[in-house]
Structure 1
Amino acid sequence: MVHGHGRQAHSHDRETETLEEFDHFVANGSLAGHRVQSVDLTDRTFALLSTDTAGAVFLGCRMQPDAAAKVRTDGALVFPPVPDLPFDPYRGLLYSPDELFEGLAAGGYEATPDALAYDWFQRTKADGDIFASMLRSIHDDAISDALDELLVGARVVGVMGGHAMARGTDAYAGAARLGQALARGGFTVATGGGPGAMEAANLGAYAAPHPDAMLDEALELLAKAPSFVPSISDWAAAAFEVRGRWPGGGDSVGIPTWFYGHEPPNAFAGHIAKYFANATREDGLLARCNAGVIFLPGAAGTVQEIFDNATPNYYESRGEPTPMVLVNRTHWTERLPTWPLLQSLAAGRPMESRIALVDSVDEAPDALRRLTGLG
């Protein structure tokens, strides 16, 4: 289960990310020392004028000029919103599919905030502008902070696999069943947030609260647009059709990147932590998978993720490596013989008892439970 916003405001928590939290702290008499992230305060002028804001920091908060002048007089720091940006660098919460794909129906994918942010990134990533790189860094740090807050207390299982896995295939359906089984087992599913195996696992988590027949029908509907090539708009529209027909799906997490902006995020992850820096995204995704990682068949990217995850496991000295389950014996022993090397690395180390190779995706949840001592 994902633990997320709206979280209740607590007296020891000085991050304020919603109007509700802002009002809570004002009612308790002080905003001193608080960090207020990207909250529209244009209708809270009286509260700002009448509340102690000494030492507070306002990050991208809209406010009336007299309110801004007063909080600066209190000694607060005010970082105003940055004009003409297609994203908010100070955001306090993760993205939702509706937010990233806003405008899809009217203008196609090219008009969405997700596409506009990618276009901005393409224009600025190589020009050496320190301001643009600073904004990207601030944004990514804010995303990491929001992701950590979301996942407090969650048992997170990562599902890794190739982006080329097409809707309408047995492999895609299997990955969706895996996501469904993990979510129903009380795990929070986390993926790289893109298409293919990643989308399938997020779809399965979305389908978890619904009857089994819903997933079968959704898979059939999605097969009409098997890939985001040639049309991201058609591919995304099919996903939103599923969401519209079966609202109230289960939560999961997607962690994509604009570095691979030609690959869109999928619409089935209820919480999307999208980064500009791919290295931050890769490390952060695996580091947060505290209950294990399941690796479906993939190519270079998935192989990299296997060894990115194996490296801290290899050096783990407390006997608590992250469980790793590789799915499809033929793929990982013959086509890309990663398993023998992983076994060699694990031999004689604590991680040896935390790795498994299974033949089919249906075996993966039970294998994960055995490795974690839950089954």
Structure 2
Amino acid sequence: MQTMPAHAAHHDDREIETLEEFDATVSARGTLAGHRVQAVDLTDRTRELLGTDTTGAVFLGCAMREEAAAKVRAEGALVFPPVPDLPFDPYRGLVYSPDELFTSLADGYEATPDARAYAWFQRTKADGDIYASMLRAVHDDSVSDALDELLTGARVVGVMGGHAMARGTEEYAGAARLGRELARAGFTVATGGGPGAMEAANLGAYAAPFGDEMLTESLELLAKAPHFTPSITQWASAAFEIRARWPQGGRSVGIPTWFYGHEPPNAFASHIAKYFANATREDGLLARSTAGVVFLPGAAGTVQEIFDNATPNYYESRGEPTPMVLVDRTHWTERLPAWPLLRSLARERSMEARIALVERIEEAPEALKRLGG
């Protein structure tokens, strides 16, 4: 069954990312000297801050009373206060959850934090404001840090594929079965976090702990809202209905971007690492897929991902090449002939033994295993 390490089990023990960690550190160590406290609301911890050594500490986006802020600054701590009127927290210590990004969905998608962050991005990305670009960079670095902590020790398989794959199709059902089989084999499924093939793979991982009938019923329910256009609200609400009916599903990761903000994140990835910078997101997704990548039929974005992944495998810049499995012979040899080029690139290189082309989605898990995933 799919596993994923608990958050914070492996992060730097100087990092404090929750109020529980703050209380435990103060109680056990009696000092905050040299610690990094990240996006923790310390408004009700004035007594602890006043009575604890904070020399050399850094407080990133931590709300605190002015009395406490003055004291820790006087001890040489750095205090980066929360940024007012932002629809996101640039200093966040954890990746997102679907519930967090889709808060207020009942009032329409436009009311959600996800939509409001995209609207802010649209307003600020073209005006050349260094402050806004700095906030985006800090946010994305915080998300990367949280994602690394989350995935420490996990066997991550990336599943890449197009956003246009509609619910209710056999292709979507196949991608969901792939996600389920990978999760049941002990892999952590990671996708681009959006609709289509990405959602299907995350759905499959979510379905992994349940009987097979759960996935069958879920696919039927989702088919009533086949695409995120024209209504993201309706599309996302259908997913949350399934989450409510079958709570405590399997865990997986989605790594979407506000750069393609017209594509909402899907609600089946239990952990969502959402970025403003698409280049950071693309490279991060592939680099973290340490047990291999499965490429389902897609268009320009998926072709780009194939060769983004092939390049470090070709040069072995990340160490030993990781497995690459392309699914659907006709698609990758005739419609978009990426496979002949990939095979030519790999010839007489160590990555040659780590690539495979299979006809059916059901063959992908076995191919991954054969290639050493």
Q: TM-score range by the shorter chain?
A: over 0.9
Whether 1:298 aligns to 2:318 is no
Give how far 1:25 is off: 1.0
Structure-2 separation of matches of 1:346 and 1:9: 36
Partner of 2:264: 264
SS in 2 for 1:228: coil
Say yes or no: does 1:50 pair with 2:48.
Answer: no
Q: Aligned partners of 1:317 and 1:137: how far apart in 2?
A: 25
Q: Distance in 2 between matches of 1:234 and 1:213?
A: 24
Tell me the residue number matched to 1:41. Answer: 42
Which letter maps to 1:75? Answer: G
For residue 8 of structure 1, report the CA deviation from its aligned partner. 4.7
Structure 2: tracts of 5 or more residues without a match: none
Instruction: Tell me the SS of whatever aligns to 1:177.
Output: helix
Q: Could you tell me which amino acid in structure 1 is paired with residue 4 of structure 2?
A: V
Q: 1:8 to 1:47 in 2, by over 3 A?
A: farther
| Higher mean displacement: 319-328 or 116-125 | 319-328
Q: Which residue of structure 1 aligns with residue 21 of structure 2?
A: 21
For 1:275 and 1:177, the matched residues in 2 are separated by 27
Tell me which residue corresponds to 2:205: 205
Q: Which residue of 2 aligns with 1:110?
A: 110
SS in 2 for 1:114: helix
Inter-partner Cα distance in structure 1 for 2:50 and 2:40 = 16
1:172 aligned residue: 172
Change (3 A) 1:326 1:9: closer
Deviation at 1:21, TM superposition (A): 0.7
Letter of the structure 1 residue corresponding to residue 5 of structure 2:
H
Name the residue aligned to 2:241.
Answer: 241
Aligned equivalent of 2:284: 284
Cα distance between partner residues in 1 of 2:296 and 2:266: 18
Instruction: After superposition, give the CA deviation of every residue in 1:35-88 in whole Å (9 maximum; x if it has no partner).
Output: 101000011111101111000000000111111111111110000000000000
Q: Note the alpha carbon deviations across 1:213-268, whole angstroms, 9 max, x for none.
A: 00000000000000000000000000000000000100000000000000000000
1:18-41 Cα offsets, whole Å, 9 max, x none, are 011111110121111111010000
Matched ranges for 1:1-375 at <5 A: 1-5=3-7, 7-8=8-9, 13-27=13-27, 28-105=29-106, 107-316=107-316, 320-372=320-372
Quote how far apart the aligned CAs of 1:164 are: 0.0
Aligned amino acid, residue 52 of structure 1? D
Contact 2:10-2:149 at 8 Å conserved across structures: no
Secondary structure in structure 1 of the residue aligned to 2:96: coil
Contact 1:319 1:351 in 2 (8 A): no
Deviation at 1:9, TM superposition (A): 8.3
Contact persistence 1:317–1:350 (CA under 8 A): no
Q: Distance in 1 between matches of 2:314 and 2:60?
A: 40
TM-superposed CA distance for 1:317, in Å, is 7.4
The verdict on how the C-alpha distance between 1:318 and 1:251 changes in structure 2, with shifts beyond 3 A counting, is closer
Is the Cα contact below 8 Å between 1:38 and 1:91 reproduced in 2? yes
Letter in 1 for 2:92: R
- Equivalent pairs: percent with the same residue? 80
Distance in 2 (alpha carbons) for counterparts of 1:2 and 1:279: 25
Verify the 8 A CA contact 1:156 1:292 in the aligned structure 2: yes
Q: Distance in 1 between matches of 2:324 and 2:120?
A: 37
Using the TM superposition, give the Cα deviation of residue 296 of structure 1 relative to its aligned residue in structure 2, in angstroms.
Answer: 0.1
Separation in 2, partners of 1:317, 1:277: 22
With over 3 angstroms needed to count, the CA separation of the structure-2 counterparts of 1:346 and 1:111, relative to structure 1, is: same
Counterpart residue identity of residue 3, structure 1: P
1:297 and 1:328 in contact (8 A); partners too: yes
The 8 Å contact of residues 312 and 318 in structure 2, kept in 1 or not, is answered as no
Distance 2:337 2:277 in 1: 30
For normalisation by structure 2, the TM-score amounts to: 0.98
Q: CA deviation at 1:2?
A: 1.7
Partner Cα separation in structure 1 for residue 227 and residue 324 of structure 2: 28
Output the CA distance in 2 between the equivalents of 1:9 and 1:152. Answer: 7
RMSD, matched Cα:
1.2
Give the counterpart letter for 1:213 in structure 2.
Answer: E
1:175 partner letter = A
Report the Cα distance in structure 1 between the residues aligned to 2:129 and 2:34, rounded to whole angstroms: 32
What's the offset of the Cα at 1:4? 3.1
1:318 deviates by 8.9
Q: Count residues with an aligned counterpart.
A: 370
1:258-311 residue CA offsets vs partner (Å, 9 max, x unmatched): 000000000000000000000000000000000000000001110000000000
Unaligned runs of 5+ in 1: none
For the residues of structure 2 that align with 1:278 and 1:245, how far apart are their CA atoms?
A: 33
